[in-house]
Homo-oligomer: A and B are copies of this chain.
Amino acid sequence: MNPELFSTKQRILDAAEALFASHGFAGASLRQVTSNAQVNLAAVNYHFGSKENLINEVLRLRLDKLNADRTQALLSALAKSPVQLEDVLGAWIRPALAASANEKGSTAFVRILARTYAEQNERLRSFLHDNYGHVLRDFAAALGTLLPHLDKQELYWRMDIITGALTFAMADFGTIKRRGASTEQHRELTADHLVRFAAAGLRAE
């Protein structure tokens, strides 16, 4: 029951995250996961109950932090006066980029997100909607007041485009190298460009 850093449970989560990212949920087997984690095959069902629960847990842990970061960043952006579109978009984009360059140095989570986003899997979509839909709604409300020329449907559609762009930009974040820039500089640069790109797209027409 200890939240040890290298506990069986944590090693499974780490290995699962990496394998789900590279092979997908269906493509990564529990035997691969437990082998990479160097734990017994039965450990997954003991600690998580089932493969499906493991998938949910991998998503939940990361999303909890990402959404908390986004919510806090949004509050900061809304506290300023006047509220700037770039700040709101930054509150959406920067925490996601930060999550993609975390302690494990892996972009596994965002690649999982890209896959999940690409999947039409109804179970996952409703899981995301139920647990994290309110964050999306908060951002939509903030963006809506900043962009009164967009009706609600159009706004959601453009946010979807931005999310797609962001997700893929993040998924490629780890693979694209920029000459003579540290990871943090690179991240800042990427965030700046994404925010500008998204802001220009939202203001269009």
Contact = CB atoms under 8 A, between A and B. Distances in A.
Give the oligomeric copy count: 2
Interface stretch (A2-10, A33-41, A162-170): A162-170
A79 interface: no
A88 B50 CA distance: 49
A182 interface: no
Dominant secondary structure at the A interface: helix
A61 interface: no
Contacts of A176: 153, 157
A19 to B, nearest CB: 11
A169 B160 contact: yes
Nearest to A196: B204
Q: Which of under 10, 10 to 19, 20 to 34, or 35 or more describes the interface residues of A?
A: 35 or more
A176 B153 CA distance: 9
Residue in A25, A114, A162, A164 whose Cβ sees the most chain B Cβ within 10 Å: A164
A205 B193 contact: yes
Given A200-B203, A204-B197, A118 B160 contact: no
A149 to B, nearest CB: 13
Given A153-B178, A164-B164, A118 B118 contact: yes
Interface of A: 21-27, 111, 114-115, 117-121, 153-154, 157-158, 160-165, 167-169, 171-172, 176, 178, 193-194, 196-201, 203-205
Given A26-B26, A161-B165, 5 more contacts: A21-B120, A24-B27, A161-B168, A161-B169, A193-B205
